Structure 1
């Protein structure tokens, strides 16, 4: 198994949502509230399928994040309810979205202690995606901002995004290590540009973040919990 201590790693990037703090749980709670709101119109299965379809369709337009999710809930509800769509449904969806934005930032798995140890040896950066304002709001609430040399909020976390990041940091690809909970966003594109990765699965994964193709287990390390990364770096 790879041991990054013996490699020329200079910068370590940490994903934010569901790697450093709780995120996906709040979306699941919101989806449940959405289904309860429209229970008289369709089953939860149908409602969830429609909401996901609308979310994915809107990603290119809205990007990732709570605001886009709220607009997608509104659009999905309008399609489901038709002429029965009402001001009360609209008001409740807005309330659900605002409640998500107001959720506390709950840190995971000894995060602050881990960041404190890692930055003694490496430059540490935050690499996330989503709504710029919302991500910076969560970072400020987290109290972790002081641990990061650089903050990067990407649109998609594509290979092109990571190449630009590595170039901006004046690194060779092999000098960068990414740590995150999504194979699709944090691991595969990083490996594809010649950089390194550690995969830290979270208890919940949004289905859009699940790779559609089989992922080789070679080339990256998988750990059970974030504190386990300290054995390899």
Structure 2
């Protein structure tokens, strides 16, 4: 296909992706309060179920939070369409064996991201909020009360969910590098001790400064690293058996 035709097709794929995102954004903005309520549920549970309170100190902050919530949710809602358009643009240029090799990674990406985000939402955030809210109470005759800002809370939750979701894509990255011949299982095995230190260093950077979230991100990263090497070992044995 000539270069101009490629550019025309790319424009068409981008337009379909933008249309899908715009439709998802409109739908999510209509239900932004309900979506934010879901994101706030771990904090509400930590407060005791009926005593939670979020504040905002700028008149436009609540509106901006609803816009950010809609954008955040619209990206996840429209991602299957965007990924499909990307695949439809790339797939014609691949050989059949390349398609078979690449397709599992494309399918595994949303599954692993959802697994990381689910761990953050259902396990890490409730434990983290319960731990942080223990500092409420009387301190030196002063009453400490947690009154988080709505914008700060949303940024905090988005950081945690994205950090865990992106971190769980580590096997996809390692297996792609291995498939491309850039790294081998033996090289990754030699780097195991550095990976352990690096996992907790990355967890300390991507998560808030508390031991709970750091452990819950660092330990799965190590497990995913080991799981990636097991998959590489299985693939190598299968390839040797087919030769």
TM-score range, shorter chain: under 0.3
Structure with higher RCO (Cα < 8 A, 6+ apart): 1
Q: Greater share of strand residues, 1 or 2?
A: 1
Structure with greater Cα Rg: 2
TM-score, normalised by the number of residues in structure 1: 0.25
Q: Greater share of helix residues, 1 or 2?
A: 2
TM-score, normalised by the number of residues in structure 2: 0.24
